[in-house]
Amino acid sequence: MDYETLSCTEQSGIGVITFDRPEVMNALDTRMRAELRHAIDGFGAQCRVIVLTGAGRAFCSGQDLGDAQDASDLELERVLREEYEPLLRAIYDCPAPVIAAVNGAAAGAGANLALAADVVIAAESASFVQAFARIGLMPDAGGSYWLPRQVGLPRAMGAALFAERITAREAAEWGMIWEMVSDEGFAAHWHARAEQLAAGPTAAYRRVRTALRESFDNSLTDQLELESRLQGECGATRDFREGVAAFLDKRPPVFEGR
């Protein structure tokens, strides 16, 4: 499908979705949110890994404030419930791992869209900012959920209240993202990471994501029960048999995701 706000490619099981509104720093308007959800659903059904990244100098600058004639026309509650929530659920529920390759500025809802991914890789010149307080709002698009879980309450509170720019280096040091890489090596690095996941045991990856996410709300007893069940499912896969055979044969495994 051809999109107006996105550029999408698929090769070797890797689906790359590029936000393609560089003239507005890839700000999210209604069309872009709908197209992004559609692209994630489509790639999630056919790819082994999905990468989200941005065209130009920004990853995503957040909500397109030019999407309405007046601030009161934005209908924030409706937009969050009807447009952002389904989009964030599409990322969260995607059967394939999702990498956010943050190439530049990620602000407001754009920052939190990145944090919704399973893995965030940022270029050294990239930055994150919870910009909401600058215009009299609070973090949304999942920010109030992701941020305190990733960096702890004190840093999450400071980031939300002061709305200050967080560099990629700081984000990596805080544990907000997986890693920061040099601008020069950024594209090659996230491509290599995507290839690594695409070649991996994707059936196990789905269970890794479930187990780690549910651990925040589970008791130890519940988590151990969940581990036992999910590991039993992993043990019944062809990938597990292949992994053991490859280990014994001293060769790289060839995983199929089943």
What CATH code is carried by the domain that includes residue 178? 3.90.226.10
Concatenate the DSSP letters of all residues of 158-211 into one string.
Answer: HHHHH---EEHHHHHHHTSSSEEE-TTTHHHHHHHHHHHHHTS-HHHHHHHHHH
194 & 212 share domain: no
* Separation of alpha carbons 43 and 63, rounded Å: 24
Domain containing 237 equals 202-249
Residue 256 lies in a domain: no
Same domain flag for 110 and 24: yes
- For 175-184, what is the mean pLDDT? 97
Distance from chain centroid for Cα 77: 23
User: CA 6, CA 50: separation in Å to the nearest integer?
Assistant: 14
pLDDT confidence bin for 190, thresholds 50/70/90: very high
pLDDT digits (tens, 9 = 90+) for 53-110: 999 999 999 999 876 555 666 789 999 999 999 999 999 999 999 999 999 999 999 9
Burial category of 77 from C-beta neighbours within 10 Å (exposed 0-12, middle 13-18, buried 19 and up):
exposed
**Domain annotation covers residue 254:** no
Q: Considering only the C-alpha atoms of the chain, give the largest distance between any 2 of them, rounded to a whole number of Å.
A: 66
Give residue-wise pLDDT tens across range 214-244: 999 999 999 999 999 999 999 999 999 999 9
- 168 in Cβ contact with 124 (< 8 Å): yes
Asked whether 55 and 7 are in contact (CB, 8 A), the reply is yes
Q: What pLDDT score does 42 carry?
A: 94
Q: Is residue 78 part of a domain?
A: yes
| 144 in any annotated domain | yes
Sign of CA dihedral 185, 190, 191, 192: positive
Domain count, the chain: 2
The pLDDT of residue 75 is 85
Least confident of 29-43, 56-70, 176-190, 242-256: 56-70
Average pLDDT, the chain: 95
Check pLDDT > 80 for residue 30.
yes
> Do 121 and 236 belong to one domain?
no
The answer to whether residue 201 scores a pLDDT higher than 70 is yes
In a domain, 55, yes or no: yes
